[in-house]
Amino acid sequence: MRQGGTCGCITAAMLVLGMALGFHDPLDRELEVYGNQKTDEFIHRFTAKMDGMTNCRDILGKDISKPKELAVIRKEGLIFQKCPRAINISIELLEEMLEDHLKYVTENNISLKDIPDNDMQSILKKIIRNRHFRRNVNQLLFSSTREIGFIQFDIRKFKIINDLYGEKFGDEILDFIEKQLRETCRENQFFVNLRSDVFMVVMEYDLEEELVTFIRLLEQKINSFKSIKLQMAYGVYTVDDRNMEMRQMEDRAAMARKAAKQNILSNILFYKEQFKESLYNRKFIEENMQAAIAERQFKMYLQPKYSITKNEIIGAEALVRWQHPERGMIYPSEFIPIIEENGFIKKVDYYIWEEVCHFIRNCILKNVACCPISVNVSRVHLQDNECIQVLSDLIMKYEIPRNLLELEITETADDPQLSRKALQLKEVGYTLLMDDFGSGYSSLNILLETPFDMIKLDKKFVENMMVSSKGRIILEQVVLMANQLKLGILAEGVETKEQIEQLQRMGCDQVQGFYYSRPMPNETFFTLLEKQNQ
Ligand code: C2E
Ligand code: CA
Ligand code: CA
- Asked if 475 and 440 touch (Cβ cutoff 8 Å), the reply is no
What number of other Cβ atoms are within 10 A of residue 67's Cβ?
A: 8
What number of other Cβ atoms are within 10 A of residue 220's Cβ?
A: 11
Query: Of the bound ligands, which one is closest to the alpha carbon of residue 513?
Result: 1
Question: What is the rounded distance in angstroms from the CA atom of residue 531 to the CA atom of residue 38?
Answer: 84
Question: What is the rounded distance in angstroms from the CA atom of residue 295 to the CA atom of residue 292?
Answer: 5
Listed in sequence order, the DSSP H helices in 268-404 are: 274-294, 332-341, 345-365, 386-398
Q: Is 233 in the pocket of ligand 1 (CB under 6 A)?
A: no
Angle, CA of 203, 158 and 120, to the nearest 5°: 75
Q: What is the DSSP string of 179-240?
A: HHHHHH--TTEEEEEEETTEEEEEEEESSHHHHHHHHHHHHHHHTTSSSPPPPEEEEEEE-S
The candidate with the shortest Cα–Cα distance to 318, out of 332, 308, 337, 307, is 332
Contacts of 500 (CB under 8 A, 6+ apart): 308, 494, 511, 515
Question: What is the rounded distance in angstroms from the CA atom of residue 171 to the CA atom of residue 522?
Answer: 53
Q: Is 345 in the pocket of ligand 1 (CB under 6 A)?
A: yes
From first to last of its 534 residues, what are the pLDDT tens digits of the chain?
A: 445 578 888 888 887 777 777 665 555 455 455 557 788 889 899 999 999 988 888 898 888 888 898 888 888 888 878 888 888 888 888 888 887 877 777 677 665 555 555 555 666 777 778 888 998 999 999 999 999 999 999 998 898 888 888 889 999 999 999 999 999 999 999 999 998 899 999 999 999 999 999 999 999 999 988 878 889 999 999 999 888 888 889 989 999 999 898 776 789 999 987 777 777 888 899 999 999 999 999 999 999 999 999 999 999 999 999 999 999 999 999 999 889 888 899 999 999 999 999 999 999 999 999 999 999 999 888 878 899 999 999 999 999 999 999 999 986 655 677 778 888 999 999 999 999 998 866 667 777 777 899 999 999 989 988 888 888 998 999 999 999 999 999 999 999 999 999 999 999 999 999 999 999 999 999 999 999 988
Distance 263 CA to ligand 1 centre (A): 21
Q: Look at the alpha carbons of 326, 329, 334, 340 in this order and tell me if their dihedral is positive or negative.
A: positive
Phi, psi of 368 (to 5 degrees): -105, 120
Q: Look at the alpha carbons of 413, 417, 423, 425 in this order and tell me if their dihedral is positive or negative.
A: negative
Nearest CA to ligand 1 atom 15: 513
In Å, how far are 119, 135, 192, 268, 452 from 199, measured between CA atoms? 20, 17, 6, 14, 46
Q: Is 267 in the pocket of ligand 1 (CB under 6 A)?
A: no
Q: Is 320 in the pocket of ligand 1 (CB under 6 A)?
A: yes
Q: Is 337 in the pocket of ligand 1 (CB under 6 A)?
A: no
Atom of ligand 1 nearest to the CA of 410: 34
Q: Is 269 in the pocket of ligand 1 (CB under 6 A)?
A: no
Distance 442 CA to ligand 2 centre (A): 14
The candidate with the shortest Cα–Cα distance to 390, out of 430, 419, 360, 333, is 430
- Asked if 153 and 235 touch (Cβ cutoff 8 Å), the reply is yes
Q: Look at the alpha carbons of 309, 311, 312, 318 in this order and tell me if their dihedral is positive or negative.
A: positive
Nearest CA to ligand 1 atom 13: 493
Query: Of the bound ligands, which one is closest to the alpha carbon of residue 455?
Result: 3
- pLDDT at residue number 32: 52
Contacts of 534 (CB under 8 A, 6+ apart): none
Query: Of the bound ligands, which one is closest to the alpha carbon of residue 378?
Result: 1
Nearest CA to ligand 1 atom 19: 493
Atom of ligand 1 nearest to the CA of 331: 26
Burial readout 125-138 (b: 16 or more C-beta within 10 A, e: otherwise): eebbeebebbebbe
Angle, CA of 405, 411 and 416, to the nearest 5°: 105
Pocket test for ligand 1, best of 319, 518, 520 (most atoms within 8 A of CB): 319
Question: What is the rounded distance in angstroms from the CA atom of residue 219 to the CA atom of residue 406?
Answer: 46
Question: What is the rounded distance in angstroms from the CA atom of residue 411 to the CA atom of residue 332?
Answer: 19
Distance 383 CA to ligand 3 centre (A): 21
- Expressed in angstroms, the distance from the first to the final Cα of the chain is 89
Instruction: Give the largest CA-CA distance in the chain.
Output: 94
Nearest CA to ligand 1 atom 4: 319
What number of other Cβ atoms are within 10 A of residue 237's Cβ?
A: 24
How do strand 312-324 and strand 328-330 relate by DSSP bridges?
antiparallel
Distance 317 CA to ligand 2 centre (A): 7
Distance 92 CA to ligand 3 centre (A): 57
Nearest CA to ligand 1 atom 23: 493
Distance 496 CA to ligand 2 centre (A): 20
- pLDDT at residue number 109: 67
- pLDDT at residue number 247: 83
- Give bridge partners of residue 317 from the DSSP assignment: 303, 374
What number of other Cβ atoms are within 10 A of residue 343's Cβ?
A: 11
Question: What is the rounded distance in angstroms from the CA atom of residue 39 to the CA atom of residue 30?
Answer: 11
Residue 55 DSSP class: B
User: Which stretch of DSSP H or E encloses residue 303?
Assistant: strand 298-307
Nearest CA to ligand 1 atom 33: 376
Q: Is 513 in the pocket of ligand 1 (CB under 6 A)?
A: yes
- pLDDT at residue number 2: 45
Atom of ligand 1 nearest to the CA of 494: 18
- pLDDT at residue number 276: 75
pTM, entire model: 0.62
Contacts of 425 (CB under 8 A, 6+ apart): 387, 388, 391, 407, 432
- Asked if 102 and 110 touch (Cβ cutoff 8 Å), the reply is no
Query: Of the bound ligands, which one is closest to the alpha carbon of residue 512?
Result: 1
Angle in degrees, 0-180, between the axes of helices 274-294 and 345-365, rounded to the nearest 10: 50
